[in-house]
Amino acid sequence: MKCRHCASPLHLDFIDLGFAPPSNAYLGLDDLSRPELYYPLRVKVCESCWLVQTEDFAQRDAFFNADYAYFSSVSSSWLAHAQHYVAMITARLGLTSASMVWEVAANDGYLLQYVAARGIPCLGIEPTHGTAEAARAKGLTVEEVFFGQQSAAALRNHYGLADLIVANNVLAHVPDINDFVAGLATGLAQGGTITLEFPHLLALIIHSQFDTIYHEHYSYLSLLAVQRILAAAGLRIYDVERLSTHGGSLRVYACHQQAKQASSAAVLNLIDEEISAGLNQAHVYRQFQQQAITVRLALTAFLLEQHRAGKRVLAYGAAAKGNTLLNYAGIDAVLLPMVADAAPSKQGKYLPGSHIPILTPTELIQARPDYVLILPWNLKAEVMQELAVIAEWGGQFVTAVPKLQIIKSTVR
């Protein structure tokens, strides 16, 4: 395999998580009687441009189809994040009813609903039918296409150029990252801004967040790599912010290379930090496998200990990161009999690989677990607040990443 950005040969291994089914391929009852498709889950590092990337074994249509079960609006904290962003960016860019906003990977309209509420024309671009329909139900205009240079040209011709293109947590999901970024440049007005949010590779390494690796995430991004990829498409990063979302993310602001936006010192400062941390040195990447092994063994030991002691451990959050963790650790319904999730699209189904049943939060509370393993650790505070009632019978919360931690609940 060659690098999906610069086509250099890939020799440096980052991590091998064995074989796993796609993390969002939730199963129905009938599916449990059929063969389940597994793919290798391996990640390589390009030593030319430092793009960290999965080996390609499956097409994107296998992941982002009509049954795609991730709906952004299920998370109240993510809705608040989107609302705050819209207020901020509207003021920063001076967006008005004469502006045009595109959102790539608009999902269920979780963000554009706040843009539309301000009277700003907007367009959602979303390839998965179920989430696109949910966005349309909010009164939003959505085009069901995979985004790239060709589709961007068609959208530009039909809707006009965008003053703002929003692309939250999608850059990592595209197999042809060069075509995707070329699409951003194609759709952007000359004085316009692109904002990209993505989990920061540096945080992933520091905090052992290997569970954020799954087939739908083709790339794991540093500012070093993203700056180079955008520059190849004629785009310039002029500002960057750190975010707490997804365990540590970046928000990048980009424009056309010759646009008037002044460059912030934050860009060079973060590049310097990444270089100081060794993100352009092979040895930093080689040590990551052992970090994952340490997390895996600690979780397995905890679950075995509680099982032998007759304690009941249930999980919350049928998230993709949880599926990576459970499949890598070899955990199934023997040690973890149930996972609860607030998303109706997942309830009544089973986790891919582990086949753990997905039930409602109410059913989890009724089961009175001794421990609740929070799989989407980035939503830990939100989950602990929603399930604080477990303190009534001495229940405790557990997270596995970056290390096993047991947290006592407190009654509301």
Closest CA to 276 of 287, 286, 268: 268
Which ranges constitute the DSSP H helices of 208-330? 223-232, 265-276, 282-286, 288-308, 320-329
Between CA 394 and CA 373 the distance in angstroms is 15
Between CA 38 and CA 57 the distance in angstroms is 10
The crossing angle, in degrees rounded to 10, of helices 177-187 and 223-232 is 60
Q: Output the pTM of the full model.
A: 0.90
Q: Are 373 and 243 in a shared domain?
A: no
Q: What is the pLDDT of residue 73?
A: 66
How many residues are listed for the chain in this entry? 412
Whether residue 221 lies inside any domain: the answer is: yes
What is the residue-level pLDDT of the chain in tens, covering all 412 positions? Answer: 899 999 999 999 999 999 999 988 999 999 999 999 999 999 999 999 999 999 876 555 555 545 544 666 677 888 999 999 999 999 999 999 999 999 999 999 999 999 999 999 999 999 999 999 999 999 999 999 999 999 999 999 999 999 999 999 999 999 999 999 999 999 999 999 999 999 999 999 999 999 999 998 999 999 999 999 999 999 999 999 999 988 899 999 999 999 999 999 999 999 999 999 999 999 999 999 999 999 999 999 999 999 999 999 999 999 999 999 999 999 999 999 999 999 998 999 999 999 999 999 999 999 999 999 999 999 999 999 999 999 999 999 999 999 999 998 775 5
Whether residue 127 lies inside any domain: the answer is: no
Q: Are 303 and 281 in a shared domain?
A: no
Are 396 and 409 in contact, with CB atoms under 8 Å apart?
Answer: yes
Q: How many domains does the chain have?
A: 2
Whether residue 119 lies inside any domain: the answer is: no
Neighbours of 92 (CB within 10 A): 13
Domain of 352, CATH number, reads: 3.40.50.720
Q: Are 364 and 404 in a shared domain?
A: yes
Q: Is 346 helix (H, G, I), strand (E, B) or coil?
A: coil
Domain boundary among 241, 258, 286: 286
Q: Are 273 and 338 in a shared domain?
A: no
Whether residue 99 lies inside any domain: the answer is: no
Domain of 282, CATH number, reads: 3.40.50
Identify the helix (H) or strand (E) that includes residue 155.
Answer: helix 149-159
Whether residue 171 lies inside any domain: the answer is: yes
Between CA 171 and CA 249 the distance in angstroms is 12
Q: Are 401 and 369 in a shared domain?
A: yes
Between CA 265 and CA 25 the distance in angstroms is 42
Structural domain containing residue 403: 299-408
Q: Are 251 and 346 in a shared domain?
A: no
Q: Are 279 and 331 in a shared domain?
A: no
Q: Are 359 and 404 in a shared domain?
A: yes
Q: Are 343 and 403 in a shared domain?
A: yes
Q: Is 241 helix (H, G, I), strand (E, B) or coil?
A: strand
Domain boundary among 286, 318, 341: 286
DSSP state of 148: S
Torsion, Cα of 316, 409, 335, 301 (10° steps): 120
